[in-house]
Amino acid sequence: MIVDCAAYEGGKRREGSLSMERAGEVAGEGGAFVWLGVVEPSKEEFATIAQEFGLHELAVEDAVRAHQRPKIEEYGDTLLAVVKTARYVDPKEVIEVGEISIFVAPGFVISVRHGNADLGPVRARLERRPDLLAHGPVAVLYGIVDHVVDRYIEASHGFDEDVREVELQVFGEGHNPTERIYKLEREVLEFQAAAAPLAEALEELCSGNFAIVPEALHEYFRDVEDHLRRVTGRIENFRQLLDSALEANLTQVSMQQNEDMRKISAWVAIAAVPTMVAGIYGMNFEHMPELQWRFGYPLMLAIVITICLFLYWRFKRAGWL
């Protein structure tokens, strides 16, 4: 589905939208460039676009089937960038990964998105920055990548909060966070697989390898790369923290077990006293003088209770109760 198609000249949008045929013509004319936004196109739909703009067979296949690795590739004078979008859905604690393929050539930009990744705000923000758009179609690529990495930063904040919550669960009262830690680790790995390979692509973009990238944009891509590296550094830290949390949690479970065992044992010990004493005075020896004492029974009860209280106090002091 085509969502927007417009021509940009000298950093400004020409009024109105273009039909696809007209777009192809404008792309070939020079002086202006076309930005075509497509959402989850069918194979047939995209085949017409590919023919109109002369895209490479393999690049087309990659754009239609999602699930590519983030990358940047050159097919003739057309760049194909694939980036993964990531959104952290907090209540479910999952990372939702989408995908945007961007074709950049001297006369056009085609952005193909799959899954959650609204590019409307990017277009709006870029149209407010004619100085950037004046650098041509690569500026659109910059705008998209910058937007995506900003979403990564947001997602990493979401993780940060959940990791802190997990820590509270590990070291505070609360139910066993093992599953939560594991699930978070899974999501962190997925996030990392989405974000990390982009760094390599950005490095190529700001190193002057591609003739199509104007030098003035190098610093912009370097800036994005820098933000990305900050995110990937944090992701790496999350993984190490979750690893340690998993082990710390195991220790806490063992500690808990030990405390429970001590508590149980203390009560067993206290209960053993009356049982033992009662057993002794339940014996049937003929000559047990205590049994004939007038206050033998209350005395015995008193002694037993005293011992029990003493034990209780001792266990309390030793931290077993």
Helix (H), strand (E) at residue 278: helix 215-281
Query: d(Cα 250, Cα 256) in Å, to the nearest integer?
Result: 10
- Find the binder of a second copy among 254, 302, 306, 310 (CB under 8 A): 254
Query: d(Cα 293, Cα 26) in Å, to the nearest integer?
Result: 117
Q: Please count the CA atoms within 13 angstroms of the CA of 44 that sit on its side-chain side.
A: 0
Residues 6+ apart with CB under 8 A from 292: none
Interface residues for a second copy in 63-92 (CB under 8 A)? Answer: 67-69, 71, 73, 75
Quote the least distance from Cβ 3 to a second copy, whole Å.
27
Q: Which stretch binds a second copy (CB under 8 A): 19-27, 39-47, 88-96, 260-268?
A: 260-268
The yes or no reply on residue 317 touching a second copy (CB under 8 A) is no
- Find the binder of a second copy among 16, 179, 215, 317 (CB under 8 A): 179
- Find the binder of a second copy among 246, 307, 312, 321 (CB under 8 A): 246
CA neighbor of 112 nearest in space, from 86, 82, 138: 82
The yes or no reply on residue 314 touching a second copy (CB under 8 A) is no
The yes or no reply on residue 286 touching a second copy (CB under 8 A) is yes
Q: Collapsing DSSP states into helix, strand and coil, what is residue 246?
A: helix
Interface residues for a second copy in 9-28 (CB under 8 A)? Answer: none
- How many residues are there in the chain? 321
In our burial notation (b when 16+ CB lie closer than 10 A, e otherwise), range 265-298 reads ebeeebeebeeeeeeeeeeeeeeeeeeeeeeeee
- Find the binder of a second copy among 211, 271, 305, 309 (CB under 8 A): 271
Quote the least distance from Cβ 297 to a second copy, whole Å.
4
User: Contacts with a second copy: how many residues (CB under 8 A)?
Assistant: 86
The yes or no reply on residue 283 touching a second copy (CB under 8 A) is yes
Quote the least distance from Cβ 81 to a second copy, whole Å.
13
* Closer residue to a second copy (CB): 23 or 105: 105
The yes or no reply on residue 99 touching a second copy (CB under 8 A) is no
Interface residues for a second copy in 182-211 (CB under 8 A)? Answer: 182, 185-186, 189-190, 193, 197
The yes or no reply on residue 128 touching a second copy (CB under 8 A) is no
CB 199 within 8 A of CB 235: no
* Closer residue to a second copy (CB): 85 or 249: 249
CB 81 within 8 A of CB 50: no
Query: d(Cα 321, Cα 314) in Å, to the nearest integer?
Result: 9
